[in-house]
Amino acid sequence: MPNKCDLLETCGFFNKFNSNLEVINQRWIRLYCENLDHSELCERKKIRNQTGKPPADNMAPTGVLM
């Protein structure tokens, strides 16, 4: 089992949308949030690492807005 994203506990997207049907259907939580290596490709994580601030909570790991 891969390690989870280190930002998971403070991530607005994860906390608000982890039960959302589209999120579940897209498997974003499993693909990104629950896989530390793959989470490095998350657009939210890139923005947070580059700016020090999180993007809007409704931005998905792929960068699309919910």
**Comparison of 3 and 8: residue with beta carbon closer to ligand SF4:** 8
Interface characters, 25-64, with ligand SF4 (x: CB under 6 A):
-------xx-----x--x-xx---------------x---
Q: How many other β-carbons are positioned within 10 Å of the β-carbon of residue 36?
A: 14
| Residue 62 half-sphere exposure toward CB, CA atoms < 13 A | 10
- HSE-CB at 23 with a 13 A cutoff on CA atoms is 19
By the rule CB under 6 A, 5 interacts with ligand SF4: yes
Rounded to a whole number of angstroms, the minimum distance from the CB of residue 22 to ligand SF4 is 14
